[in-house]
Amino acid sequence: MDFEGVAGFFQSALAGGRLSHAHLFLGQNAWPLAQNLAGLLLCRAPDGALACGRCPDCRQVGAGFHPDLTVVAPASASIKIEQIRELQRSACLAPYQAGRKVFIVNEAHKMTDDAANCLLKSLEEPVDNVFFILVADSGEGLLPTVVSRCQKFFVTAPAEAEDPLVERLSEFMAAWGSRDIASLLKLGESLAEDKKVAGRFLDQLALFYRNRVVGSETGNTDPSPWEETTGAWRTRDLARCLDRVETAKRHLAANANTRLMLDSLFLHLAGEA
């Protein structure tokens, strides 16, 4: 999704009282969106999907010292467990003035395993009016258990269209939409050469399907650079595709044969097209 599509989704979810307590924004353009959501949650008079920018809370957020907004970032090379423990202590305290508390974990993929497992406890036991926003370039490096506790969005940006992985996603979408089995198997052969690349591909493919499911339910279906050939799909079909990809990710993590796993996945997805 692009910035406007994700922001619109949050406006609708917040107005309907359906906003999740934990979100994960992935992509080079994710940080501005995280800041916008934090401002929206703390603003006294939101203007649609955006914070008003004028109320006392907005002015404090803009100045970087709102008492109910905490940003955690790497200390030197990583985010350490002591930083997450301090976050947890703060999360247990009542909001000072905004009625909500917001915690942004920037470069979340740089959390140590101890820090990530510590954060997991907070994600598994949500507290009313406490929101966590995780920001990372990609899902690589994040504990799967942390990712599974968050509502995930891949935030598109023009610069990302030059990423070779986006080109492969474009190839997949074109072949998937036309049920071009030969091209899908050729793509699987190429991806299988590097397990890490295959993992990144599956992460973004899962995010694509997840965002399309969310978009089909909310009306926010702004296309990413590789979505132009996908057309309109029923929510249940997209959900089945998402389940297939999530299963493939688990098999890859369990050291399944990458080539066979991708071939099986692509054949099943072609059957859903």
The answer to whether 57 and 42 have CB atoms below 8 angstroms apart is yes
Query: Residue 261's pLDDT is what?
Result: 94
The more confident residue out of 5 and 168 is 168
- Rounded CA-CA distance 48/54 in Å is 14
pLDDT at 212 over 80: no
- Rounded CA-CA distance 43/112 in Å is 32
The answer to whether 86 and 57 have CB atoms below 8 angstroms apart is no
Q: Please provide the DSSP assignment of the chain as one string.
A: --HHHHHHHHHHHHHTT---SEEEEESTTHHHHHHHHHHHHH-SS-BTTB--S-SHHHHHHHHT--TTEEEE--BTTBB-HHHHHHHHHHHTSPPSSSS-EEEEETTGGGB-HHHHHHHHHHHHS--TTEEEEEEESSSTTS-HHHHHTSEEEE---GGGGGSHHHHHHHHHHHHHHTT-HHHHHHHHHHHTT-HHHHHHHHHHHHHHHHHHHHHHHHS--PPPTT-TTT----HHHHHHHHHHHHHHHHHHHTT--HHHHHHHHHHHHHHH-
pLDDT digits (tens, 9 = 90+) for 103-145: 999 999 999 999 999 999 999 988 889 999 999 987 778 888 9
The more confident residue out of 11 and 147 is 147
**Hey, what amino acid is at 93?**
L
The answer to whether 220 and 8 have CB atoms below 8 angstroms apart is yes
- Rounded CA-CA distance 40/34 in Å is 10
Structural domains of the chain ordered from first start: 1-159 (3.40.50.300), 163-273 (1.20.272.10)
The candidate with the shortest Cα–Cα distance to 43, out of 72, 71, 12, 11, is: 11
The answer to whether 15 and 24 have CB atoms below 8 angstroms apart is no
The more confident residue out of 265 and 213 is 265
Residue in the block written with tokens 């247990």: 92
- Rounded CA-CA distance 246/206 in Å is 7
**Low-confidence winner among 116-125, 207-216, 237-246, 253-262 (lowest mean pLDDT):** 207-216
Query: Residue 146's pLDDT is what?
Result: 93
Give the count of beta carbons closer than 10 Å to the beta carbon of residue 6: 27
